[in-house]
């Protein structure tokens, strides 16, 4: 199918490829749910609860839209794992 100037793509999935495609102008934007930020908040709340410290019961992270207009203003470390990061599934 030939490319068309009247077609725009908006991604509902966030990954490094979408970030690259937004920068290149090939994708209009993508929804960012800030999973790294949510993970950090979750660990912090769990530690506070285990230590019996005061903590919020409900915290919400507002999703955002990343576009070429705001891509230089976002903090990608709140959305994506660092380059080269690999999960560890066992601890000795």
Q: In terms of Cα–Cα distance, which of 10, 69, 65 is closest to 32?
A: 65
Indicate the SS3 state at residue 29: strand
The pLDDT tens digits of the residues spanning 11-51 come to: 888 888 899 999 998 999 999 999 999 999 999 999 999 99
| Residue 4: per-residue pLDDT | 61
| Closest residue by Cα to residue 29 from 75, 78, 64 | 64
Q: Which residue has the higher pLDDT, 4 or 92?
A: 92
pTM summary value:
0.72
- Mean confidence (pLDDT) of the chain: 88
């Amino acid at each position: 199918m030939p490319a068309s100037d009247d077609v725009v793509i908006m991604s509902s999935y966030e990954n490094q490829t979408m970030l690259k495609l937004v920068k290149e102008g090939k994708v209009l934007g993508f929804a960012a749910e800030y999973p790294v930020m949510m993970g950090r908040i979750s660990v912090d709340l769990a530690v506070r609860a285990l230590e019996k410290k005061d903590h919020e019961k409900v915290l919400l992270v507002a999703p955002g839209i990343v576009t070429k207009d705001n891509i230089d203003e976002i903090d990608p470390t709140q959305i994506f794992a660092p380059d080269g990061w690999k999960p560890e599934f066992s601890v000795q």
